[in-house]
Amino acid sequence: MFSRHAQRGQVLPLYAFGMMSLLALCFFLFQYATTIRWQVRAQTAADAAAAAALSVQTLQWNQEMMALHAASVEEYRIRRLTQTLLLVAHYSGGCSATPSTSAGVCATDFATLQPQLVAAVKRYGDDIALLHQLSYPTAASQASDANTVVQALQANCGTPLGGDCAFDYTMTAYSQRSDMQAVSENPNEVMVGAGTIPAISANVEPARVEVVVCKDVKPIIPSILGLKLPTFRAIGRAAATTAMVTEEWLDPGTIVNPATNAVFLPKETEAPSRAVSAGAYDWYTLNFGGNNAVAYPSEDAYQLSSENDELSAYTGWWSTIQMQPFAGPLNEASISCAE
Amino acid sequence: MRRVSHGERGQALVETAIAIGGFLLVLYSIIWIAQTAVIAGRLQMGVRYGSVVTAEISPYVDYSLYAAYNSVANPSQPAYTCTAPPAGILNDSAPLPSPTSAPFWQPPSSTVSASCTMTLGTYSQYALNRPFLIEQTQQAFSAAEPTPRFLAAAIGASTSMTASARFFRTPDIATVAYCFPALATTVHRSLVHDDASVAAEAAPTPIPSQPASNATALSAQCQ
């Protein structure tokens, strides 16, 4: 049997233990919430850096795509102008060798057409020169620029050009994507994964990049009851690759531009119309869209009969998309980590 | 039979009152920390959501021949669509609907603010192999939660929480035309073939064997 004096303060240790437990719970709850928040923040910073690094390649390729489309339009124009000049030189297509009331003089038409061909050739040459310039950077220089951009994110952190100042940034991998699939196309279908991929230059292969951001987050309380609390390492690891985010087909001579309510590329009258007879084909007008497609929305399809010349543009535009990290286990010794 | 002396009367009650008081203080602190942690976590998710969505918000408009045709004639800086962090993330509604949480886990709507701005960056001060351009978004998301009265004296009447993030994306085609005028001009020349443009052309010249150095230079307004 205990005396009354011996029972005094008996609750105190229990109370103290309970309070310590609650405080510890409170601390770990706070620490857990901090961990989650830092992890999300780190991942966002890494994703942003990977997208920025790859924009070196995507920007270049989109510029090339613009120049390439301009060159293809000009090339189509040159083909048609050359054909028309050939007809006129042979007194064909509707013009006349001698003046008449119903047809123009071929020599006059030739004089009208010739400077147009010269101008088209000049522009085509400029387009090709531009393409040459745009495609000048190699895969190696793209990788170098990507690394420079990642370093610039850290150097400019806190400014509109920079990344998150809390982290250290490291580009841990950059390479060309090796999992490309061959695409085979015929008039009826496009098949992905069919056939083999020919050997192509690394300069035109989509790149992939891996970026790691890191920060050692110290606990708000260094230690509890002599127990040193560990530092939490917030690591964001992101990989991204260059991908064709939009693929499109445009028949610029047929499809109406919603911004202008006219077709993207209207007919061009190369020389006064010399139709051979009423309703006959006008050889002297350049028509980019010689065939009309019929859409069948209910069947998600369209029908296009290829009866005349036309310019059909298949283009793809590039941006970055996130992907699974590809460089294997992360070697933490190879990255720097902000304190 | 145990007897209590007059000096010990009510002692257990006082001890219990103190213990319960301290216990409740800590318990409510835990609940408050949990509340602010959840809200702060959601703010961080909000800026991430806004960043990622803005990066790929409208690819069919941003990256297309449609954009190229309509931007090369008169290049101008497009009006960017920047998705601010959605307030719905704080109360489980759109764009990430989920079972609705109790109002306790949501900050007062009057304290919530979100913003998104987009700017252009070039890194022209760095020795890059070619002119570079990138679109950068700045997301900010903040909210405030009233502090429990028993803590207000120590840490203020309300607790403000803020999350921010920067993100980057490939410039859209209209911006490329705006910032690389020589490129836009060259493309536009090939898309327009009329008498005036034909008359303006000089005689063809051989295609240079080495790339020129100025045709893809950034315009002054983009630097």
Chain A residues in contact with B123 (beta carbon < 8 A): 148-149, 152, 161
Chain A residues in contact with B119 (beta carbon < 8 A): 160
Q: Do B165 and A43 touch (CB under 8 A)?
A: no
Q: CB-based contact (8 Å) between B45 and chain A?
A: yes
Q: How far apart are CA B180 and CA B56, in angstroms?
A: 22
Q: CB-based contact (8 Å) between B191 and chain A?
A: yes
Q: CB-based contact (8 Å) between A152 and chain B?
A: yes
SS (H, E, C) chain B: CCCCCHHHCCHHHHHHHHHHHHHHHHHHHHHHHHHHHHHHHHHHHHHHHHHHHHHCCCHHHHCCHHHHHHHHCCCCCCCCCCCCCCHHHHCCCCCCCCCCCCHHHCCCHHHCEEEEEEEEECCCCCCCCCCCCEEEEEEEEEEEEECCHHHHHHHCCEEEEEEEEEEEECCCHHHHHHHCHHHHHHHHHHHCCCHHHHHHCCCCCCCCCCCCCCCCCCCHHHC
Q: Do A130 and B129 touch (CB under 8 A)?
A: no
Which residues in chain B (47-66) have CB-CB distances under 8 A to chain A? 47-48, 51-52, 55-56, 59-60, 63-66
Q: What is the pTM (predicted TM-score) of this model?
A: 0.87
Q: Which residue has the tokens 């609750």?
A: A11
Q: How far apart are CA A166 and CA A276, in angstroms?
A: 76
Q: Which residues contact B45 (CB under 8 A, 6 or more apart)?
A: A40, B89
Tokens coding B192: 């327009």
| Residue A208: strand pairing partners | A175, A241
Please report, in tens digits, the pLDDT of each residue of chain A (339 residues total): 555 555 666 677 777 888 888 888 888 888 888 888 999 999 999 999 999 999 999 999 999 999 999 999 999 999 999 999 998 888 888 787 776 656 678 888 888 899 999 999 999 998 998 888 888 778 899 999 999 999 999 999 988 889 999 999 999 999 998 777 787 777 777 788 777 777 788 888 899 999 999 999 988 778 777 778 788 899 999 999 999 988 888 889 988 998 899 999 998 887 776 655 555 667 788 889 878 778 888 888 878 777 788 898 889 999 999 999 999 999 888 899 998
| Residue B165: strand pairing partners | B139
Total residues belonging to chain A? 339
Higher pLDDT, B207 or A142: A142
Q: Do B59 and A29 touch (CB under 8 A)?
A: no
Q: How far apart are CA B214 and CA A57, in angstroms?
A: 19
Q: CB-based contact (8 Å) between A95 and chain B?
A: no
Q: CB-based contact (8 Å) between A287 and chain B?
A: no
- ipTM, two decimals, is 0.87
Q: CB-based contact (8 Å) between B1 and chain A?
A: no
The number of C-beta contacts closer than 8 angstroms across A and B is 257
